[in-house]
Amino acid sequence: MFVVVTLVFFLLRLIPGDPIDFILGETAPQADRLALVTSQGFDEPLLKQYSHFLKDIFEGNLGQSYFTRKSVGDLIGERYPQTVKLALVAMVWAILFSIPTGVFASVLRGKFFDRLLLALSLVGISVPSFYLGPLLVLLFSIKLDWFPASGQDLSGSIILPSLTLGLAMAAILTRMTRSSMLDILNSDYVRTARAKGLSFFKVVFKHALGNALVPIVSLIALQFGTLLAGAIVTEKIFSWPGLGSLLLESIGRRDYAVVQGCLMVIALAYVVVNLLADLVLTKIDPRIRLK
């Protein structure tokens, strides 16, 4: 987190453009510009600004937006729940699609269903969200008129943006589930379970899938963190009022404090989600121990 905070602070200040021009406009009087530069501490040496920045963070103060004059913490608190909601629904779509199809593809290895699924998953991985999103809008909003094209106020508004995020993740998880299941299905203990006469569903879903979940859970944790960060483009396409759209707006007008706060929250989400995944893995597989 310290490395992320440091990189964010210095890299932001390498972006071309003066935040003063965005706040006051290029034609603002020089006296107003100097007053704002002094009030925001832009006239201080960069390392001194950085030390103030670190001090504020350790005190729990993320700063104030240059434009809205609202606390960064309040702005993130308003938007972040919408991003988490979108990511959670996308995760549900991904798991519902990927786990069953990945399991059956591994059982039907080499058959038509397996090959079709591999081809579809490759397409799902290859198609970017900025292309898939408008396609879904064109089909389900414009032609079929099933779901709203943007916003969050209407019923079903979350369906299309969550599908845009979830389908790409489902493609990755399907391939991982299939690969992990194939390794387990070829193991000695699974062959022994079959030889004992256990039912197909018990062998596959209890013995095989339970042990195949370790890499799948790890990937889900990584992908969930990616969803929280990668929802930026999708939120923009569907006008979803989440953290991603706030981040894009703040980058465009060089609102340093808000950009820093958003990126710190995204990085923290990665750390927390992966920590939780490590703890879950110790419950799934007793052979894993935290050291």
d(CA 252, CA 258): 11
Residue 67 maps to a domain:
no
Give, rounded to a whole angstrom, the gap between the first and last alpha carbons of the chain: 21
The confidence band for 18, taking pLDDT boundaries of 50, 70 and 90, is low
Verify that 46 and 143 share a domain, yes or no.
Answer: no
Verify that 15 and 145 share a domain, yes or no.
Answer: no
The confidence band for 178, taking pLDDT boundaries of 50, 70 and 90, is confident
Verify that 48 and 137 share a domain, yes or no.
Answer: no
Residue 124 maps to a domain:
yes
The confidence band for 36, taking pLDDT boundaries of 50, 70 and 90, is low
DSSP lists the bridge partners of residue 71 as: 64
Residue 289 maps to a domain:
no
The confidence band for 27, taking pLDDT boundaries of 50, 70 and 90, is low
Residue 32 maps to a domain:
yes
Verify that 136 and 203 share a domain, yes or no.
Answer: yes
Domain coverage including residue 126: 75-284
Query: In this predicted structure, what is the pLDDT of residue 213?
Result: 74
Q: Residue 118: which CATH number? A: 1.10.3720.10
Ranking 82-96, 210-224, 251-265 by mean pLDDT, the lowest is 210-224
Residue 141 maps to a domain:
yes
Interacting residues of 223 by C-beta distance below 8 A, sequence separation 6+: 91, 94, 169, 172, 173
Query: Percentage of the chain with pLDDT > 70?
Result: 83
Verify that 18 and 85 share a domain, yes or no.
Answer: no
Shortest CA distance to 223 belongs to which of 231, 211, 234, 233?
Answer: 231
Residue 87 maps to a domain:
yes
- 132-144: per-residue pLDDT in tens? 888 888 888 888 7
Verify that 112 and 162 share a domain, yes or no.
Answer: yes
User: Is the pLDDT at 19 greater than 60, yes or no?
Assistant: yes
Verify that 18 and 155 share a domain, yes or no.
Answer: no
Verify that 160 and 206 share a domain, yes or no.
Answer: yes
The confidence band for 289, taking pLDDT boundaries of 50, 70 and 90, is low
CB environment 79-102: b (16+ within 10 A), e (fewer) = bbebbbebbebbbebbbebbbebb
Query: Percentage of the chain with pLDDT > 90?
Result: 0
User: Is the pLDDT at 24 greater than 70, yes or no?
Assistant: no
Q: What average pLDDT does the chain have?
A: 78
Verify that 14 and 115 share a domain, yes or no.
Answer: no
The confidence band for 165, taking pLDDT boundaries of 50, 70 and 90, is confident
Verify that 50 and 82 share a domain, yes or no.
Answer: no
Query: In this predicted structure, what is the pLDDT of residue 148?
Result: 77
Residue 137 maps to a domain:
yes
Total number of domains constituting the chain: 2
Verify that 36 and 80 share a domain, yes or no.
Answer: no
Residue 104 maps to a domain:
yes
Longest dimension (CA), the chain: 86
Verify that 87 and 54 share a domain, yes or no.
Answer: no
